[in-house]
């Protein structure tokens, strides 16, 4: 984050019903062995099934109109899998996705279409998201054209309006993606997502590939769009600093589970889970204060073979004997603030 380019402060938490709710979401990849040993299967010429990866475990979250939810954790913790489920790109292995209060699995076709268009995803690498042979104006307008949201005669105006909205000159609509900088390409991808008039954006490491100064500009754009369109966001990042100035609520994820959830201000002032504190110790102080860089001990364990008990215990500086045998559950430690840890439940303790 660049102090010279501050991101606008988040608005107060939005009232009203959630746009999107995830209830008890599970995501598994692969399948467990049916019981036949791998050696026997090899002798029979059978390929053993892939081991199961339990990427997301019993996650609950909700996003209201105009609300920014930050989802933070190290690479491989399952946050991208959760983002894909939230955006309807991947099916959950368990749990329910509710859109405007209705289960998306039982939506009538018109409402299902409203969910498919209403929740859009912005990925990390804008160059990989754009077809290098398609002019950006065509790329931006394609979804609106295909879904019949804009009459053919109005498409050019629609594209020009979107380009202006994300800070691009509509005169560049005939250019190809390689003729833009990384930050401009991410603006093109955002304009393309906006072309179907979504109500919620799932941004998966959407600024991670950009230079620090450009990151702040794109984050400011996201906030301006939130204010302008009352967009909700599920903003996924490995970097707490990225979500610090824009999120209303922050969820911390470790090996598929939410281990802490709190209003952003509360989380940064009074982090309660040892993993959250460790993540905070890895980012530099933005106010020149005395935040000391302390890297988190060890590597993230494989989700194919997670540690028993609290999955963070092999790396936790405060681990106790109980931590390796009993898995903590999310419990409220202050109003709106919950965490999963066996330590005394006092935020900041
Ligand atoms: Fe550390 Fe134990 Fe809390 Fe896990 S439950 S974070 S190991 S103190």
What is the per-residue pLDDT across 283-298, written as a single tens digit (0 to 9) for each? 665 555 555 566 677 8
Atom of ligand 1 nearest to the CA of 322: 2
Q: Is the pLDDT of residue 43 over 80?
A: no
pLDDT at 84: 97
Q: What is the pLDDT of residues 171-189, one digit of tens each?
A: 999 999 999 999 999 999 9
Cα 337 to ligand 1 centroid, rounded to whole Å = 17
**Is-contact 236 205, C-beta < 8 A?**
yes
Task: Choose the residue to mutate in 306, 310, 321, 324 for probing ligand 1, maximizing ligand atoms within 8 Å of C-beta.
Answer: 310
Cα 248 to ligand 1 centroid, rounded to whole Å = 26
Cα 310 to ligand 1 centroid, rounded to whole Å = 6
- Rounded to whole angstroms, how far apart are CA atoms 37 and 97? 36
Which range (43-52, 72-81, 82-91, 92-101) has the least confidence? 43-52
DSSP 343: S
Cα 25 to ligand 1 centroid, rounded to whole Å = 23
DSSP, residue by residue, 102-140 = EEGGG--HHHHHHHHHHEEEE-S-HHHHS-TTS-HHHHH
- Rounded to whole angstroms, how far apart are CA atoms 119 and 89? 10
The continuous run of DSSP H or E covering 322 comes out as none
Label residue 344 by pLDDT band (50, 70, 90).
confident
On the 0-12 / 13-18 / 19+ scale of CB atoms within 10 A, 199 is: buried
Section 142-148 average pLDDT: 96
Ligand 1 pocket member 343 (CB < 6 A): yes
Write down the pTM of the prediction: 0.87
Question: Strand, coil or helix: what is 257?
Answer: strand
pLDDT at 345: 58
């Amino acid at each position: 984050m660049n102090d010279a380019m501050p991101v606008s402060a988040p608005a107060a938490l939005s009232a009203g019903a959630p746009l999107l709710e995830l209830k008890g979401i599970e995501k598994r990849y692969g399948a467990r062995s049916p019981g036949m040993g791998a050696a026997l299967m090899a002798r029979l010429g059978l390929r053993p099934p892939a081991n199961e990866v339990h990427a997301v475990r019993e996650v609950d979250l909700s996003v209201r109109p105009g609300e920014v939810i930050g989802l933070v954790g190290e690479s491989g913790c399952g946050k991208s899998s959760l983002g894909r489920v939230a955006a309807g790109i991947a099916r959950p292995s368990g749990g329910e996705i509710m859109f405007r209060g209705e289960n998306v699995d039982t939506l009538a076709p018109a409402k299902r279409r409203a969910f498919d268009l209403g929740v859009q995803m912005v990925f990390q690498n804008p160059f990989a998201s754009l077809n290098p042979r398609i002019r950006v104006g065509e790329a931006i307008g394609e979804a609106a054209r295909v879904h019949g949201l804009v009459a053919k005669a109005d498409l050019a105006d629609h594209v020009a309006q979107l380009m202006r909205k994300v800070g691009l000159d509509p005169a560049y609509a005939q250019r190809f993606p390689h003729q833009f900088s990384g930050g401009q390409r991410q603006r093109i991808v955002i304009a393309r997502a906006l072309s179907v008039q979504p109500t919620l954006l799932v941004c998966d490491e959407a600024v991670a590939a950009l230079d620090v100064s450009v990151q702040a500009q794109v984050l400011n754009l996201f906030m301006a769009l939130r204010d302008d369109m009352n967009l909700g966001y599920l903003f996924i990042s490995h970097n707490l600093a990225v979500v610090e100035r824009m999120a209303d609520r922050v969820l911390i994820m470790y090996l598929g589970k939410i281990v802490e959830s709190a209003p952003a201000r509360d989380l940064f002032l009074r982090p309660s889970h040892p993993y959250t504190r460790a993540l905070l110790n890895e980012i530099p102080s933005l106010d020149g204060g005395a935040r000391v860089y302390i890297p988190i001990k060890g590597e993230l364990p494989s989700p194919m073979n997670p540690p028993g008990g609290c999955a963070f215990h092999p790396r936790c500086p405060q681990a106790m004997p109980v931590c390796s045998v009993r898995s903590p559950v999310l419990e409220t430690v202050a109003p709106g603030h919950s965490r999963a840890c066996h330590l005394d439940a006092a935020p900041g303790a």
